[in-house]
Amino acid sequence: MHRYVFDSNAVDPIADRPGAYELVRAAVDEERIEILFPHLALDELAQTDDLERRQLLLVVLVSLGRLVFSGGFVFDQSRFDQARLGGEAVTFDTLKSGKDRNTRDALIGVTAEFEQCTLVTEDGVLTQNARGRGLAVVAPLAFLTRLGFIDSSSE
């Protein structure tokens, strides 16, 4: 079974493309893949302005994946009851790129590293930094393609 940690932006292609959700759901049900996510991904989706969109994205993520503790803890970002205390500061700082606005993304990357999973993200900075740390990273559409999804919306 291949395991993935989802960034919040990995949910959109699954929610937006006809047949994508069903394909991923089947792969999860058949135990070919496991999708994990830290509370930070939920927090980001919960900030979606449009109520219907927010509900859709949250339902898609929660129904496909499993909530796990984040791979580290940062004040004002992490929840005490859903984060691992400690962790490797060098890894976090490398993924964060020294910018506070990247803190949540860095924590999602640290979670993928801790869980020894492939990170699914559309974020270019996080992708570059995670790959620099030796993490496997895949874009959301490439993730769907690995599962056999054929995107008819781009034709």
Q: What is the pLDDT of residue 69?
A: 72
Distinct helix (H) and strand (E) counts, the chain = 8, 5
Share of the chain above pLDDT 90, in %: 57
Q: How far is 131 from 139, CA to CA, in rounded Å? A: 12
Write out pLDDT tens, residues 34-76: 999 998 888 889 999 999 999 999 999 999 999 997 755 444 5
What is the overall mean pLDDT for the chain?
Answer: 83
Cα dihedral 72, 25, 45, 49 in deg (nearest 10): 180
Q: What is the pLDDT of residue 80?
A: 46
pTM of the model: 0.81
Structure tokens at 13: 């292609």
Q: How far is 148 from 143, CA to CA, in rounded Å? A: 9
Is 75:100 a contact under the CB 8 Å cutoff? no
Reference 36, options 9, 4, 8, 69; nearest CA is 4
Q: For residue 4, which amino acid is it?
A: Y
> What is the full per-residue pLDDT of the chain (155 aa) written as tens digits?
999 999 999 999 999 999 999 999 999 999 999 999 998 888 889 999 999 999 999 999 999 999 997 755 444 555 444 444 555 443 444 444 444 446 677 888 888 888 899 999 999 988 998 898 899 999 999 999 999 998 776 54
